[in-house]
Amino acid sequence: MLKGSFVALITPFKNGKVDEKKIRELVEWHISEGTSGIVPVGTTGESSTLSYKEHARVIEVVVRSVRKRIPVIAGAGSNSTDEAILLSREAKKLGVDAILSVNPYYNRPTQEGLNAHFSAIARAVRIPMVLYNIPSRTGVNLLPSTIIRLAKENKNIIGVKESTGSMDQTTEIIEALGQQFTVISGDDSLTLPLMAIGAKGVISVVANLVPGAIAEMCSLALNEEFHAARSIHLSLYPLIKAMFLETNPAPIKAAMAEAGLIRDASLRLPLVTVTSGTLEKVKAAMKKYGVGRIELNVPGKGGSRG
């Protein structure tokens, strides 16, 4: 299930409210472009500033739009274990294929606390679960030893979105757990290196803008055609770096607005749109890669990869 290019879908807004029509259009476009799966209400989807009602509604719109054509893995994490269980139960009820559960942030739990947190969720909600290890956002690293323990003791913990930037950490996990456990990149610039040592794909930010390219690179890497995959990686690298000049998802939303994929690049406070200087750098990276205006592939309309 967890293989290839999964898009960490943005949450588009219109007049300050979730733009459900645009979500549906984006889902159709991603399916037509070869995206392997959709990940709504993650970090890129601004889950931290959505209300509970909005959070559930975004998942519902995505699930209904996808119609089982590709997997949906919904963000359902929290720094409160009880809240994470509540969100996970709601996601399961809405029909997702799996949940993505981030390290508890702010609390800074010990490794024993992390084990207890994720084990409690796995026991309470019998649904495939992907751990999300991103110390830069959460302040705590889920160590390989803890991940290995969690995977061995909880059959529904099937993988980890690895966003530590550590090749060694990924290697330790894959060496211990083999191909039955899925490591998937959480960092676009490290997707190909991680896949070279056994990761199975990416939950991607830049796929919001160039889904076809990320899908092709992942497919080539999965088939061990690394020379061709490397060519795509190198051409994408400047664009990837531009998407993180400011806090995600501000740059990717700005890029999508420039490409015509969304009209409104606004974010929920305390996140704000990119500065004019960053916008110029984003536009330059888009031009260098060759991203122009993109028409969404929606029913009844034509489309272009841009």
**Which positions are catalytic?**
132, 161
Residue 33 amino acid letter: E
CA distances, 27 to each of 9, 36, 70, 127 (Å): 9, 11, 10, 23
CB within 8 Å of 86: residues ≥ 6 apart: none
Residue 180 burial class via C-beta count within 10 angstroms: exposed 0-12, middle 13-18, buried 19 and up: exposed
Characterize the bridge pairing of strands 17-18 and 13-14.
antiparallel
Cα torsion through 253, 254, 258, 261, rounded to 10: 10
